[in-house]
């Protein structure tokens, strides 16, 4: 009779422990499966890694992650048919993934569910799980401008690394190479293009 209270206390723990153990541990570093640190599972929602666990133990959204060799116990798999976007939409119920090649190339799935390659798609809100591997760039100033616009007011795009490489980002958010773009006195945005200059007035 003395053991009954103790058994009643331990019973809920015995019931819940297997349930807790069965919960998957989401990958914090892009590794997954038995070769990862703790049998990590790829996150199925928005992330920088992608929802599929490849045969090599890495999360991603490309065919090499989601098709042959994909590990279904540690993420999503497409059974040999990658659900690449056929119409430029991505994520949502259909789960389409953006590709860096093809008619709707862009690689990044925006927060609103459309494929593209500019800061509006690849910057804040980019859905890593439905974008090409490594396409989302959440750090401001790392997204190359494709239209000559740059800076904070244009999704954190940078004049460097694209067709406007070598140009400064003006205070008005446009790439250019003369004083009105590159002068700090005129509001040149440091970190979103070539180094801003300090004008020295001759005496």
User: pLDDT tens for residues 107-116?
Assistant: 888 889 999 8
Residue 172, C-beta contacts closer than 8 angstroms, at least 6 positions apart: 187
pTM, two decimals, is 0.40
Among the residue ranges 4-8, 24-28, 133-137, 170-174, the one predicted with the least confidence is 4-8
pLDDT of residue 22: 58
Among the residue ranges 5-19, 37-51, 57-71, 169-183, the one predicted with the least confidence is 5-19
**3-state percent helix, strand, coil for the chain, nearest multiple of 5:** 20, 15, 65
pLDDT of 187 over the 90 cut? yes
CB 39 within 8 A of CB 54: no
pLDDT of residue 182: 96
Pick the closest to residue 200 from 183, 181, 177, 180 (CA basis): 183
pLDDT of residue 79: 61
The 3-state secondary structure of 101-141, one letter per residue = CCCCCCCEECCCCEEECCHHHHCCCCCHHHCCCCCCCCCCC
**Given pLDDT bands bounded at 50, 70 and 90, which one contains residue 93?**
confident
pLDDT of residue 202: 39
* Joined tokens for residue 7: 């058994």
């Amino acid at each position: 009779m003395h053991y009954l209270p103790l058994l009643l206390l331990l019973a809920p723990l015995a019931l819940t422990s297997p349930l807790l153990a069965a919960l998957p541990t989401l990958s914090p570093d892009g590794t997954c499966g038995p070769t990862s640190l703790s049998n990590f599972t790829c996150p199925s929602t928005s992330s920088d890694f992608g929802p599929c666990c490849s045969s090599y133990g890495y999360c991603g959204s490309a065919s090499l992650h989601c098709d042959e060799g994909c590990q279904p116990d540690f993420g999503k798999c497409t059974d040999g048919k990658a659900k690449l976007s056929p119409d430029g939409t991505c994520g949502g119920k259909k789960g389409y993934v953006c590709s860096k090649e093809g008619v709707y190339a862009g690689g990044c799935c925006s927060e609103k569910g459309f494929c593209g390659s500019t800061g509006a798609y690849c910057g804040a809100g980019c859905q890593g799980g439905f974008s090409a591997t490594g396409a989302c760039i959440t750090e401001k100033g790392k997204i190359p401008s494709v239209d000559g616009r740059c800076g904070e007011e244009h999704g954190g795009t940078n004049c460097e690394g694209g067709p406007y490489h070598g140009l400064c980002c003006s205070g008005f958010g446009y790439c250019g190479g003369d004083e009105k773009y590159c002068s700090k006195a005129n509001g040149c945005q440091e970190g979103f293009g070539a180094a801003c200059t300090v004008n020295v007035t001759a005496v």
